[in-house]
Structures are given as C-alpha cells and as structure tokens.
Amino acid sequence: MKSNWIFAILFISLIACGRDQAEERVVEEELREVPEFNADSAYSFIQRQVDFGPRVPNTEAHQETKRWLVEKFNEYGMQVTEQDFEAKAYDGTNLKLTNIFAAHNPQASKRILLAAHWDTRHLADKDTENIEQPIDGANDGGSGVGVILEIARVIATSGMDPEVGVDFILFDGEDYGEPEQTKPSDRNHSQIWWALGSQHWSRNPHEAGYSAYYGILLDMVGAKGARFYREGYSMQYARNIVQKVWRNAHRLGHGDFFPMRDSHEIIDDHVFVNQVAKIPMIDIVEYSPDYGFGKYHHTHQDSMDLIDRRTLKAVGETVLFTIYQE
C-alpha cells in the first residue's frame, strides 16, 4: 500500500446563532507514507513453517523452526534475544521452550510491540480422527508469525523507517493446554496451562524494566472468510487501541474483516501482557460472538488449504498502517 499523503476529510455540521445553520468545514489529517505489505511473502513464511512439520515443543521440528526464526530476524538486522526456559505442562511433561524477541530501532523511547505464538497444538482434540496426532497449525500459530515476519521484512528493507521503535515477540508454549475432552472436575483451576510463554515473559521480561506504548497480538489471522471482532479483554484493557486499529482497517477498505462488533473474552497471550507486564495489548483473533472459534480450530483442517492471502493482506496492511501513523 503506497500512498504519498492521504487526506481524511471530515464534514461537520454546526448549529450557530440560535438558528439551524449548517456550515461545512474541512479538516485535513495528514497521514504518513506506508510501505507495501506483500501477502504472497507472508504466505510463503507460513508455508515454510508448515514444511518443518508441527512445531510442538520438545520435537526436532520445533528446534528447526526456532533456528529459522532467529535467522530471519537476524537477516533483517534486528537485535534478537532468545529467552530459553522450562515449564511443566498439564500432563506433567517438562517443556523446553523459547520466547524469541527482536527489536528494530532499539534506541527509540516510544515502542510498539507486535506478538504471536509460534508453537502448534500437540493433538487434534477437536477432530474426529487422528486425535492424538499434532496439527499443522498453518493458521493457529503459523499465520501470526507469517504476518509478523513480513512486517519485519518490510520495515527492514523498504528504506522507510517508522517514527517509533518496533519490537516483535514470538511466544512459545501457547497451545499446550488441556484436551477439549477434559472434564471440569479434572481441571486444575488454580493453574492456566495455556499461554505458557507469555506467562513466563510477563513475569520475567527479557530486559529489566521493559515497556511499550502498546501491543498487538496476532492469533489465527489467515483463514478464508475470517472475521475479527473486538475481543473482550482487549476492550477492557486497551479500548482506545482497539478503536484505533479497527478504524484504520475501515479506512483502508478492510471493514468486512473487522466488524464494529464486540466479542467475548478469550484467554490468550495478551491477557498476561496486560495483567502482569502492564502493557496495554489487544488481540486480533478469529473468534465469533455467535459460534466461537472456526471449525478448523484444533483439527487437522488447520492446514495450508485454509490460508487466504486476502485475509493476510487485510491484517498485515492494517497493522503496518497503524505502526507508521505513530
């Protein structure tokens, strides 16, 4: 999306002098130039992840993907930090996990944080067959990372720097929660087994005192026909950021993807960033207030066949535009 200068025109009707008198006034809002988000490139980043196989913690595919992700951020000249840690899963498995943090323009005082999770589900607990097998996670895991890598590539190679520092964090261990079939009586309600990476980072940031102006989490942002409603915790903790991002989406012509309608609260990585790290973070996530997650969720349908470049473009352009207007 190349646009030298964009002018938003606002018509305001005023009532003056005790009588109905309409006055038309033009308010010009000057917007910064934004480099182009390439949906084909984002798609290829998702395909590369899927080619490694399911990125389940404690597997070789997980380790190979980690090395590739770090390599890509280094290639784009980012300052990269690998946060290795261990966490116990709901089933007692000791998971070896890594949060990957990359900073562009680390000297800038005002910073925007973009996040996604890079691990994939270890079982297809919502499927009807091969339930014990891990899923590809093309959308749930792969799509958020693909959009983030494309934004990092664009910022690094376009020659057009945003006026703020941009940080990228890929959380690990987000999707290793209890199976869908777990009975409520068998759940440990004192422990949230999802979002292990963001729980760890929020309590133990990679850099003491780290903060950001706000954050945007991308989760399941590539499916055909996706709709991104205004998630509940996002509205609770960062309503003004939600309004800004959704308004930008409509301004860019992506209103069909970003309905002006609220949805329910979802336990996702942004909850811990908001509550523990105290950084206002919103969640762009496919979750309908009418039927919840898509039918592909935690099934083997979450493959490359699900991914749509138009959805990637809508999300990627909106986030990139938002960053460059700061």
* N-to-C CA span, the chain: 17
Instruction: Please give the DSSP secondary-structure letter assigned to residue 36.
Output: P
Provide the 3-class DSSP secondary structure of residue 14: coil
CA atoms within 13 Å, Cβ hemisphere of 187: 14
pLDDT attached to residue 2: 44
**What residues contact residue 166 under an 8 Å CB cut-off, 6+ apart?**
103, 104, 105, 111, 112, 114, 151, 152, 155, 323
pLDDT in tens, 171-205: 999 999 999 887 665 677 668 999 999 999 999 99
- Edge-to-edge, what's the strand order for the sheet holding 94-104? 79-88, 94-104, 165-171, 111-117, 214-219, 281-285
pLDDT attached to residue 186: 65
CA gap 52, 69 in Å, rounded: 12
CA gap 118, 115 in Å, rounded: 10
Residue 215's Cα: distance from chain center in Å?
A: 9
pLDDT attached to residue 30: 82
Q: 240, 320, 317, 247: which is closest to 281 by C-alpha? A: 240
Residues of the chain with pLDDT under 70: 1-29, 183-186, 189-190
Beta bridge partners of 47: none
pLDDT attached to residue 190: 66
Q: Show the CA angle centred on residue 167, arms to residues 308 and 96, nearest 5°.
A: 80
Rounded to 10 deg, the angle between the 60-75 and 142-157 helix axes is 20
DSSP 73-134: HHHTT-EEEEEEEEEE-TTS-EEEEEEEEEEESTT-SSEEEEEEE----SS-TTSSSSTTSP
DSSP 191-231: ---S-HHHHHHHHS-SSTT---SEEEEEES--BTT----B-
